Structure 1
Amino acid sequence: MTDIAAQSVADRLGRHLTTWGGASVVLGGALGIAGRSPSIRAFGVQSAGWGAIDLLIAGAGALSKKPPTTSKLRKTLWVNAGLDVGYIAAGAHVAVRKPRFGGRITVEEAAGHGVAVVVQGAALLLLDTVHARALG
């Protein structure tokens, strides 16, 4: 695949990441403020935080002056996919085991944070694998 095609995939990934990140910030922020339970508010806060980071990453990619190469972008996306699996596993652990982190959060908040990490990790896994596969 030519590096022009890699730039096209990178641009598409940036748009998708911006959309996901923006939705996570807006909807997560709303749930974090107005959620009816501690677990829903925690889910919202965690989602908004991940969304903000997604927006920063998408912004940095858009501002990059160096075009991506196919091989480097493909490798980066597959490494990220592996990390995404780790996020899903860690989030599932927190959601199921509900650790209180030394009393800093409640059991209900742990469940909400854990589920949000699973959702965010799954969305990123989808984005990373779809775009890595588009590179061949």
Structure 2
Amino acid sequence: MIKIKLIKEKNGAKLIKEFQEMYGSIEALERAFKRDPENVKLYMDLTDWEYFQNHPKEQIKETEIIYAEKSNIDMLELELMGLIKNEHPKSISELAKIANKDISSVQKKIKNLNENGLIKIKEGNKNSKIPIVNYDKIEIAI
């Protein structure tokens, strides 16, 4: 079994911005928590928001762990993940152009990466699929 750790690094100011996009304001989050005091996510988000208002430069590491029976990730897929992270393509066809690869091979690789949890696919305009890498570092333990 292979353990893959996806690590996203950000600071408190970025986390607060994410909270603002999600809840609107800290007051709105407080109201939501008062309506549902058993909701652990609301409680954790509220306490994090309050803390990071006073510590906006503090670094945060979020991790997600994926377990795989075997690694079937190849060098092209690693290259594609780097291009997605750095170039932010708006579609898989744009990614294929950036990588200078055939669209059908890139689509297969993207499907594999998505199925393995290493990238996310977001719906774009005109049925396009936007590949997204939401982390900064990968650690693999074998």
Q: Same fold (TM over 0.5)?
A: no
More helix by share: 1
More strand by share: 2
TM-score w.r.t. structure 2 length?
0.27
